[in-house]
Amino acid sequence: MLNEAKPRWTRRKDARPQELLSAALALFVEHGFAATRLDEVARRAGVSKGTLYLYFENKEELFKAVIRATIVPNIEQSEQLMSSFKGSTAELFREVIGRWCEQINTANMAGICKLMFAEASNFPELAQFYHTEVIARNEQMLIKLLQRGVDEGEFRELDLTVMPKIITAPIVMFMLWCNSFNACESHPVVFADYVDSYLSTMLTGLMKNK
């Protein structure tokens, strides 16, 4: 029919913010904050530049929104697991790490993580937000987990002020790795093998020698 020509734009009020956030996330992760052009964010989301400003006050607010929208939903899962788990602490540890690894693929956790480390010094306010909402909560959870292992005689005595960071490091590093040097490797790391070795080494290091 004659009037099949596609309209110049269509009303998408509800879907728009999410589409914009996805586009922005991808580009922020790829290029960093400063090098990401709003032009391109808009183009990737299939809208005009002006439309961005209907939903986000400016580039910085867009950045914050991206971080918030992507992080927050993924925090509580681990906390719930912690409080309900029956079984040995070693098994719980394997379970927590396992869940976490899943999020790397599904939620672009790796991308956000890299982004936050790269831009933290430029956005102190946002760094604080991330630290409070993600890092600190995560460490609290790990402290409880380790304490449980110690209390039940499974783990050695541990310095709980530093152990959460030490334990977490290999996983976080892997996330950063994905967005930085993985492409440089002739034989990229097999994640499953990496996690296996990590778990066995780390648990051996934590557990009481019998």
CB 21 within 8 A of CB 64: no
For every residue of 118-157, DSSP letters joined together read HHTTT-HHHHHHHIIIIIIHHHHHHHHHHHHHHHTTSBPP
The H-or-E segment that residue 52 falls in is: helix 49-55
Is residue 58 near its own copies by the rule CB under 8 A?
Answer: no
Q: List binders of DNA among 163-192 (CB under 7 A).
A: none
Q: At what angle do helices 191-206 and 89-106 cross, to 10 degrees?
A: 150
CB 45 within 8 A of CB 20: yes
Q: List binders of its own copies among 93-132 (CB under 8 A).
A: 114, 116-122, 124, 127-128, 130-132
- Residue 181 Cβ, how far from DNA at the closest point, in Å? 25
Site map for DNA, 48-87, x if CB under 7 A? xxxxxxx---xxx---------------------------
- Which one of its own copies, DNA, none is in contact with 124 (Cβ closer than 5 to 8 A by kind)? its own copies
Is residue 73 near its own copies by the rule CB under 8 A?
Answer: no
Positions touching DNA (CB under 7 A) are 7-13, 16, 36-39, 47-54, 58-60
